[in-house]
Amino acid sequence: MQFHTILTSISLLSCLALWPQAPAHAQSRDAGHARTDEVILEMSQAFRKADARRLSALLPQVRGHVLEPWAAYWELRARLETATPGEIQEFLTRFADTYQEDRLRNDWLLLLGQRREWGSFMAEYPNFRMNDDRSVRCYALLTEFNSRELDVARQVEELWLAQREADDGCAAAAEQQIRAGKLPPQTAWLRARLGMENDRLRVATQALDLLNTKWASTVSAIYANPAHFLDGKLLALRPRTKELVTLALIRLAVGDPAAAATEIDKLRWKTQLTQEERSWVWGVIGKRAAMRLSDSAMAYFLNGQDKFMHDDQLAWKVRSALRAGNWVQVSTAIAAMSEGQRKDATWVYWRARALLSLAMGEADRAEATRLLASIAGVGGFYEQLALEELGQRITTPERPTALTPEEKETVRRNAGLNRALYAIQIGLRSEGVREWNYSTNLHQRGGMSERELLAAADLACQHEVWDRCINTSERTKTVIDFEQRFPMPHKDAVLSRARQIGLDPAYVYGLIRQESRFVMDARSGVGASGLMQVMPPTASWTAKKIGLSNFKPHQITERDTNIAIGTGYLKLVLDDFAGSLPLAAAAYNAGPSRPRSWRGQNGAPVLEAAIWAENVPFTETRDYVKKVLSNTTSYAALISGQPQSLKSRLGVVGPRDASATAMSSDLP
């Protein structure tokens, strides 16, 4: 697309109404203007390098530019620790109602909390519109307890236990509540358990440091060598020692579930650890065994009690039970989950399936039907499966009423959206995406209605910013525009190539949508590039296999080359897995060797592919397989105009026939 389409997307008069000065994108992009864009890009690099001096020197050169709010944010954020309150308030006032204002407020609130400047914190906190930072929320709860003695213990506990990393805000609030006797010390031990279970030593040491500053070294030693700690324990355990033993057993289970199972089954731990402590450890052992697809996982889980296991352990218990065909345990483990997790479409679907499998009468079947109906739709993997369980197929929803010129004009004049589009077009995709998401957020003050979201998605589609088009359109619940959610850029190239090599175009589109959201220059953190996110070694290997002569690594970012290599590789892995769409999708994401092992050895059960996909050990790949297959079904409905079945595309997954040989055993 031409850059000037964004530069002229709103009139000069509209710009003047939105901005103190006429913004850069209301003018033609002459040489001087292009130079200002270059200064903006230079400032973004200086910000990444924390070069505050350079940022301050460059800022005057971008006054009046549409991205000046970003430039001003970078400059002030880089020196926030030394900035005066007056400078901060001047920024917040000048850029009021922008993403940059609220982003800086978030940063400022964190700094005020770290400094324990509670008066300034509480004066600014009510203005924080995003309010999506757990640490800031914890600081706010801490001050609310100090000033008004509100009962905040439950909220603090929930936020602290949900934090993946060690942070100051929630730890400070938890310490306050523990010292005030509002939270029991056991909460800190639970936090330490989660740290041990999830390979986060700092989480564990920070939690126990709130109870006793001398315990950090002991916990570190347990983390490094849990077996050594367990070998040295005497039979008579004190309460603190019991908790340390529990941490050691958890840590042992992370690395070696079988060894942990043998250890915890010893008489001394059976008699001296509580049922709660033992159940948590068995939950970790079962989870880690299930993640290895071990047949022992279910037996491990059954040694503990569901009511003492946390949601992630219970999720893996359900997965293990599905593999074993144990519908009773599927049902009981889901029933033990927190209310919030039980409402997730994944567990609603499997709870309904368990009821249907165990149905003792009409009441069970009626409840299963109710559960399926509560999630059934075209919006995702389990929603589509629920629809099919109810006897329906996946079809393209009727398009909503066409957007009016007024609806389109409203979002076209939205300063945040225009600033986001401009940032994306000059290469500041991360900044543009964040501002776009902020500007379309339904939950922020003055957020968008569903019709406005459709109009915003339409604006992104018109500018070929496909990822924002898709993600924005996906947020509507009652009005669904399938053509927005499942666009088909590069249609001639994709359809032609797919049909040429015998691939279903819907499958190719389903994969590209998940891989890159059609962002041409997408590049992953591990180096995958382009529409189909191909890794350089895979590209070189595939180029030789498909006869693409004179291939050079830099060509992988060219559209047609990327499509040719990506589809070529997809066809090779699909053939290698005998046409199994879920196995090929897993291979494309995680490499072929992993799904080969995940499908099991000779004698492994043949599973419906939905159960197999739910048991994929890697969270990213598990999510990827489900989304690619759901996308494929939706694209097929769009392309064909006919009802489609996700179940038929999933099929079943079992071990490879021992007599079969891999067609492409050297697949990278």
Which has the closest alpha carbon to 532: 512, 514, 548, 551?
512
Q: Is the pLDDT of residue 275 over 50?
A: yes
- Write out pLDDT tens, residues 439-483: 998 545 567 899 999 999 999 999 999 999 999 999 999 999 999
Domain boundaries, the chain: 4-127, 405-485, 491-653
pLDDT above 70: percentage of residues in the chain: 92
Using CA atoms, how far residue 29 sits from 34, 426, 606, in Å, is 6, 12, 61
The predicted pLDDT at position 668 comes to: 77
Between 253-257, 444-448, 545-549, the lowest mean confidence (pLDDT) is in: 444-448
- Write out pLDDT tens, residues 187-240: 999 999 999 999 999 999 999 999 999 898 999 999 999 998 888 655 455 667
- Write out pLDDT tens, residues 331-341: 999 999 999 99
Q: Is the pLDDT of residue 4 over 50?
A: no
The one catalytic residue in 165, 515, 558, 614 is 515
Q: Is the pLDDT of residue 290 over 70?
A: yes
List the CATH code of the domain at 491-653.
Answer: 1.10.530.10
The predicted pLDDT at position 233 comes to: 57
The predicted pLDDT at position 539 comes to: 94
pLDDT above 90: percentage of residues in the chain: 83
Q: Is the pLDDT of residue 18 over 80?
A: no
DSSP classification of residue 273: S
Task: Provide the β-strand partners of residue 534.
Answer: 529
Tell which wins on pLDDT, 249 or 19.
249
The predicted pLDDT at position 524 comes to: 84
How many other C-beta atoms lie within 10 A of the C-beta of residue 289?
Answer: 24
The predicted pLDDT at position 359 comes to: 79
Is residue 515 part of the annotated active site? The answer reads yes
Length of the chain, in residues: 668
The predicted pLDDT at position 200 comes to: 97
- Write out pLDDT tens, residues 554-570: 899 999 999 999 999 99
The predicted pLDDT at position 23 comes to: 36
The predicted pLDDT at position 11 comes to: 32
Contact status, residue 421 vs residue 387, Cβ threshold 8 Å = no
Task: Provide the β-strand partners of residue 529.
Answer: 523, 534
How many whole angstroms separate alpha carbon 113 and alpha carbon 100? 20
Q: Is the pLDDT of residue 180 over 90?
A: yes
DSSP classification of residue 658: T
The predicted pLDDT at position 500 comes to: 95
The SS3 of residue 463 is: coil
Position 32 confidence tier, pLDDT thresholds 50, 70, 90: low
* Helix intervals (H) in 79-185: 85-94, 99-115, 118-124, 134-148, 153-162, 168-179
Task: Provide the β-strand partners of residue 608.
Answer: 652
Q: Is the pLDDT of residue 660 over 90?
A: no
- Write out pLDDT tens, residues 363-384: 999 999 999 999 999 999 999 9
The predicted pLDDT at position 15 comes to: 38
Using CA atoms, how far residue 570 sits from 279, 549, 582, 596, in Å, is 43, 19, 12, 15
> Residue 215: phi, psi to the nearest 5?
-85, -15
The SS3 of residue 51 is: coil
Q: Is the pLDDT of residue 150 over 90?
A: no
Contact status, residue 72 vs residue 91, Cβ threshold 8 Å = yes
pTM for the model: 0.91
DSSP classification of residue 444: S
Q: Is the pLDDT of residue 16 over 80?
A: no
Position 149 confidence tier, pLDDT thresholds 50, 70, 90: confident
